[in-house]
Structure 1
Amino acid sequence: MSVSVPYTQVVGEGSCADDGVELVSFREEFYRCLSARSDAVFELTDALLCSGDPVTLVDLSLTPEHRRGHGALYDGLNCGRVDIGRLRRAVGALPLPRSSDGRIVLAIDISPWLRPDAPTSSQRAFCHVYGRGKNQAQLIPGWPYSFVAALEVGRTSWTAVLDAVRLRPDDDETTVTTAQVREVVGRLQSAGHWRDGDPDIVLVYDAGYELARMAFLLADLPVQVLGRMRSDRVLHFPAPPPGRTGRPPRHGAEFKFADPQTWPEPDSNTDTDTDRYGTAVTAAWNRLHPRITHRGSWADHPGPPPIVEGTVIRLTVDHLPGDRHPKPVWLWCSHPGAGTADIDRLWQMFLRRFDIEHTFRLFKQTLGWTAPKIRNPEAADRWTWIVLVAHTQLRLARPLAEDLRRPWERPAPPRRLTPARVRRGFPRIRATMPNPASAPKPSRPGPGRPPGSRNRRPAQHHHVGKRTKIDITEPKSETQPG
């Protein structure tokens, strides 16, 4: 079987005029979401979109789209106010890409904003960062952000980023991510993207998430959890019938990923010919569950641990880019009875998860998400949403952009421009759009700090990581003095 995935999105095909109206409507709604320093924040977003070079924050004040000085830029970033709830609803109401069968596929992942040299910045946590060599991972202080993005079909670098939440040091990653996904799915239902009778939304996670916990907490939503597991995991088949004596067993035979002797005959197999990976072979086993104990994210679970069954998929391919002998990939899906057609669809959806890595690279290298040296985490949240809104406008301007390619670049067909090339032509698109921001009023800069004066209010230094209070009060001695 040969995979032929279309490059076009499964969304309504409209004219360029309709796309332009949609972009104008979103820009006006974004302006209404700004309740303080609205003109400065809106023009900062336009400067981010129209700047041709990789972004440094102060250089944005020199662009023609930012008609105010650098003081107004920092004032809008530090003291502006954005109605994040209304902005989330506006982003969620936009058209979404879907898979070839009409499903919504959401990728959830964490990307850190590293701030190792910022002791005056509060609420920093230790972020896991991979090194170039084996066993070279590090923990670096920073602000981790959890993103939710809708994935397209085919090979593309586009995603529809729907939400971003900063993880605080004392937050439980599973709890915060589950609440974030629940709110995103609720907004999609309110916007009419999912109705009763539609196929379930697929949530794609990478390794590191507690997939069984996610599936248990989201069991009341129309979603399927799909994610990668480590190759040393051990799962269990359903428990055998109880005997005449003794307590009924809760778990069946072990299924060790690293021990083929524990693998019975798979419930389904697929063999797919691909252009990029060669032959992709999958083997799937239904109704497998992990052994859950009262620790980690399950520590506060009331009652006995539940049995969360799913389907395990073992994916092997002939080759990967730069790797002639790739290792198998183990996937787990919360659908316990997935069939052959489901298996073939699920592993292809998981491979599309890596498109969000292109979005993270665009955020950091082109849009300069982590470039500003911002002190307050609230200002970091504000700047994160400015970058997210800029990326959303690029997505809406995708059918309107011209291919302003460099002499050494290959021509790209319509609607197949990369986000960076759409941004290259955004100044022309913006020139045809109404600007809701008012013109700046004439003013003069303030006197600033008098020459020779010293800062007598130094910024407070903050610790990194969790700050759990422990009661170390010693008990009073029962011996009374004589």
Structure 2
Amino acid sequence: MSLLHRDARQEPLAALSRFRGEFYSCLTARSDGLFELADAVLCADGPVRSLAELSLVCEHRRGHGGLYAAVARGQVNIARLQQALAAVPLPRAADGRLVLAVDVTCWLRPDAHTSPERILCHTYGRGKDQHIPVPGWPYSIICAPEAGRSSWWSGTDATPSAVDRLWQAYLRRFDIEHTFRLFKQTLGWTCPKIRSPEAADRWTWLILAAYAQLRLARPLAADLRRPWEKPAPTDRLTPARVRRDFRHIRPKATCPARAPKPSRPGPGRPPGRKNTRPTPRHDVHTVGRTDAAKPRTKKSTTPRPRRKG
């Protein structure tokens, strides 16, 4: 490796280390467990399927009990984390403007009857030409797309040039949908069966911090492509490709999480004792039809007499 190439990698590595240190400072309770959980999301082999499987990743040095305790009882300074995420260099449009995209995606929890604050979320195509409302937690995401195909454009006039820009913006609106797909299918955002909305928000902020680290690590990542994938330059690597090499980048960056202390699991509920504190239910009901249902007439089983003559 040449000295020029080594110097070019020092600045992105320093930016990644600064963000990781600031991210650790935003974790005010169960900070070590939450920080290593985010590293497990970034270093896991393949898509994240469950929280318990993340405890088996070598970068996560705690057990599955500590992992669930960090998600359930950890604390995140959201205001400080928002400032840390906003301080990450954001992509600009071709003319230097900062273009922000806002969209809503839902964490569907139709069977979580003990989870509060669920509302009916509008879904598309979950039946045969049907848009069925499903209980869940909606989230509003703000992002700054890159220039080119991932940028957005807005216009209100009806000139031919504006119509062309609106058509291009309509085609580019699916870029943020790819981000939602990465969150849900690769980083495992909606995979955990979390009961409380506070824990769901905590897990969501961890996913956003992990995604910011992927963006900062893109200049440092090698293209570990599959045999059927085309080569891509470093500045055009997808987040999924950067994630494949994050395990090799992590040892070079700052890791402020401390080693776990030896402990023993608790005794748990004694055998044979029933649960005396059942969790309250929070059912979400759909609005029924307001018009009175027509009475159903019972079909006669007596056959009609045959006409004669």
**Length-normalised TM-score, structure 1:** 0.55
Find the partner of 2:20 among 16, 23, 27. 27
Q: Which residue in 2 is equivalent to 1:71? A: 65
Q: What CA deviation, in whole Å up to 9, does each residue of 1:422-463 have, x standing for no partner?
A: 000000000212210111111111111112221111100013
User: How far, CA to CA, are the matches of 1:227 and 1:111 in structure 2?
Assistant: 24
Instruction: Please list, as runs of the form range in 1=range in 2, the aligned pairs for 1:291-306 lying within 5 A after superposition.
Output: none
Question: How far did 1:410 drift?
Answer: 1.7
1:108 aligns to what SS in structure 2? strand
Whole-Å separation in 2 of the counterparts to 1:429 and 1:353: 32
TM-aligned CA distance change 1:133 to 1:462, over 3 Å: closer
Residue 268, structure 1, aligned to residue 159, structure 2 = yes
Find the counterpart in structure 2 of residue 442 from structure 1: 262
Could you tell me how far 1:93 is from its partner in structure 2? 1.1
Amino acid at match of 1:24: S
Alignment of 1:35-434 (within 5 A): 35-55=28-48, 56-131=50-125, 135-155=129-149, 226=154, 268-270=159-161, 313-315=162-164, 344=165, 348-349=168-169, 351-434=171-254
Task: Give the letter for the 1:390 counterpart.
Answer: A
CA distance in 2, matches of 1:373, 1:347: 39
TM-score (norm 2): 0.85
Partners of 2:116 and 2:244 in 1: how far apart? Answer: 36
| Relative contact order, higher structure (CA 8 A, sep 6+) | 2
Moved beyond 4 Å, runs of 4+: none
Which deviations, in whole Å up to 9, do the C-alpha atoms of 1:311-351 show, x marking residues without a partner?
xx545xxxxxxxxxxxxxxxxxxxxxxxxxxxx4x654554
Aligned partners of 2:20 and 2:254 also within 8 Å: no
**For the residues of structure 2 that align with 1:73 and 1:63, how far apart are their CA atoms?**
12
- Structure 1 letter corresponding to 2:70: G
Report the number of matched residues.
279
One-letter identity of the residue aligned with 2:214 = L
Q: Residues 227 and 148 (structure 1 numbering): CA distance in 2 closer, same or farther, change over 3 Å? A: farther
The Cα offsets for residues 112-171 of structure 1, whole Å up to 9 and x where unpaired, read as: 000000010000000011006774111000000011010111235xx9xxxxxxxxxxxx
Kindly indicate which of the two structures has a greater share of residues assigned to strand.
1
- Residue aligned with 1:148, SS: strand
Cα distance, 1:98–1:113 mapped onto 2, change above 3 Å? same
> CA 1:390/1:465 → structure 2, altered by over 3 Å: closer, same or farther?
farther
Question: What is the DSSP-based 3-state SS (H/G/I as helix, E as strand, rest coil) of the residue aligned with 2:139?
Answer: strand
The 2-side partners of 1:449 and 1:46 are apart by 32
Q: 1:356 to 1:448 in 2, by over 3 A?
A: same
Greater mean alpha carbon deviation, residues 47-56 or residues 22-31:
47-56
Give 1:415 deviation, angstroms: 1.6
Structure 1: state its 5+ residue gaps. 1-13, 160-201, 205-225, 229-265, 271-312, 316-343, 467-482
Q: Distance in 1 between matches of 2:72 and 2:101?
A: 30
State the distance in 1 between where 2:272 and 2:158 align: 78
Percent of residue pairs identical:
61
Cα displacement string for residues 162-206 of structure 1 (whole angstroms, at most 9, x for unaligned residues): xxxxxxxxxxxxxxxxxxxxxxxxxxxxxxxxxxxxxxxx8x7xx
